[in-house]
Amino acid sequence: MERTSSISVIGAGVAGLASAIELSGRGFAVEILDRAARLGEGACSWMAGGMLAPWCERATTDEIVAQRGEPSLDWWRRHFPGTVSNGSLVVAPARDAADLTRFAARTERHEWLDADQIAALEPDLSGRFRRALFFRDEAHLDPRAALAALAAELAARHVPIRFGTEVDGLADQKGMIVDCRGLAARDVLPDLRGVRGEMIVVRTRDISLSRPVRLLHPRIPLYIVPRGDGRFMIGATMVESEERRAVTVRSAVELLNAAYTLHPAFGEAEIVELGADLRPAFPDNLPQVRRRGRVLHANGLYRHGFLLAPWLAREVADVVSAETGNADIPERRRA
Ligand SMILES: Cc1cc2nc3c(=O)[nH]c(=O)nc-3n(C[C@H](O)[C@H](O)[C@H](O)COP(=O)(O)OP(=O)(O)OC[C@H]3O[C@@H](n4cnc5c(N)ncnc54)[C@H](O)[C@@H]3O)c2cc1C
């Protein structure tokens, strides 16, 4: 049954697409407006690694991230069949072995693997690491394919995505508005900041991996996510900077060194893409849904865009459902 309320979602990044999925699933008439010419263009979501790793993230984040993120794994399996549920692996160079023990102490839902077990899981890493942590329940996806799958699901539900539509004044829009503009929403969310992230995509046929591998590193936690077809995403830097410039030499060296440390075969890989963007983050690095009149701001996904977008989208849909049922809506909801 379609409800009469019409809702405009501004932004076709992962926050906007997931919100539109949840809203249309609850029977609301939804449209998405995005200023870009096509899906992903100019969206931070296009640059993401696509790790769905709530328990690994516990090493550096509040436990609420794991609590909110855990149901996302099923959400993505339902909406994107390309979600790969092979777990994730954490390794450290021999000189940083103590870091692995510290990582284990700060995280949960992992098991220790010895060299033989690592080789059984990832044959191409055979003989390279003595120990690893295996997070069996984690998953990963190709963010670009996942965004396309959400857009296709919305098209099948007759939810239009109007690309090339720049929204200047939210107040000019009719009906309820869900503002999912990412960092561009800073005009109305002054405490939103950008956290710079850089990544590199390489291609090689000389190594294959079945799951993301994190390499503990004294300065940057680095990971390599297999994207299929010989492609690997190496990411990601975390820099408290809002500079919108291309990947720096220093970051490229760090990222490529990590790949080389993981396996020397990456030394012969082709560099296919270098990318940088700014993650939208609130001061506590947790996403929030804020309501101001008829506008809901859904933002602050930080480094957990794909992990926490399903949670954020459900919050949006809960607030809109409560609104249309005239329930008492809190002015501000937070993760
Ligand atoms: C290098 C890197 C690696 C990352 N790795 C991961 C990871 O492994 N896992 C993970 O979960 N997250 C990861 N992230 C974080 C994730 O990418 C972000 O949290 C997420 O993409 C934010 O999504 P969003 O929908 O809020 O914003 P965006 O994806 O930026 O979407 C905003 C959309 O709004 C549109 N828009 C903006 N202004 C207007 C306007 N005025 N009118 C109309 N449309 C407008 C834009 O065109 C855009 O499409 C990573 C980020 C980076 C940079």
Whether residue 232 contacts residue 58, with contact meaning beta carbons closer than 8 Å, is answered with no
- CA dist list (Å): 43 to 259, 279, 300, 330, 333: 26, 10, 14, 29, 24
- Closest atom of ligand 1 relative to the 236 alpha carbon: 1
pLDDT for 220 equals 67
Q: How far is the CA of 23 from the centre of ligand 1 (A)?
A: 19
At residue 80, the pLDDT reads 98
Burial class (CB in 10 A: 0-12, 13-18, 19+), 304: buried
Q: How far, in Å, CA of 177 to CA of 295, rounded?
A: 5
pLDDT digits (tens, 9 = 90+) for 247-259: 999 999 999 999 9
Closest ligand 1 atom, residue 196 Cα = 53
Spacing, Cα 234 to ligand 1 middle (Å)? 18
Is pLDDT at 4 greater than 50 in this prediction?
no
Q: Residue 122 is which amino acid? A: E
Instruction: Tell me which of 303, 304, 307, 315 to substitute to probe ligand 1's pocket, judged by most ligand atoms within 8 Å of the beta carbon.
Output: 303
Mean pLDDT, rounded, for 159-175: 86
Specify the pLDDT at position 51.
95
Residue 316, pLDDT above cutoff 70 = yes
pLDDT band, residue 217 (cuts 50/70/90) = confident
pLDDT at 140: 98
The pLDDT tens digits of the residues spanning 222-237 come to 899 999 999 999 998 8
Mutation pick for ligand 1 pocket among 34, 248, 315 (CB with most ligand atoms within 8 Å): 34
Report the chain's mean pLDDT, rounded to a whole number. Answer: 92
Going from the Cα of 280 to the center of ligand 1, the distance in angstroms, rounded, reads: 7
pLDDT recorded at residue 318: 96
* Atom 4, ligand 1: residue with shortest CA distance: 48
Decide if pLDDT at 332 tops 70.
no
| Best of 39, 68, 301, 311 for a ligand 1 pocket test (most atoms within 8 Å of beta carbon) | 301
d(CA 236, ligand 1 centre) in Å: 14
Burial letters 136-174, b for 16+ CB under 10 A, else e: ebbbbbbbbebbbbbbebbeeeebebeeeeebeebeebe
Number of the ligand 1 atom closest to the C-alpha atom of 225? 8
**Protein residues whose CB sits closer than 6 Å to any atom of ligand 1:** 10-16, 33-36, 42-45, 47-51, 166-167, 180-182, 184, 197-199, 235-236, 277, 279-280, 299, 301-307
The per-residue pLDDT for range 179-210, each reduced to its tens digit, is 999 999 999 999 999 999 999 999 999 999 99
Mean pLDDT lowest for which of 34-48, 66-80, 163-177?
163-177
Note if the pTM is more than 0.85.
yes
Q: Return the residue whose CA atom lies nearest to atom 31 of ligand 1.
A: 13
**pLDDT, tens digit, for every residue of 269-297?**
999 999 999 999 999 999 999 999 899 99
Least confident of 77-91, 149-163, 254-268: 254-268
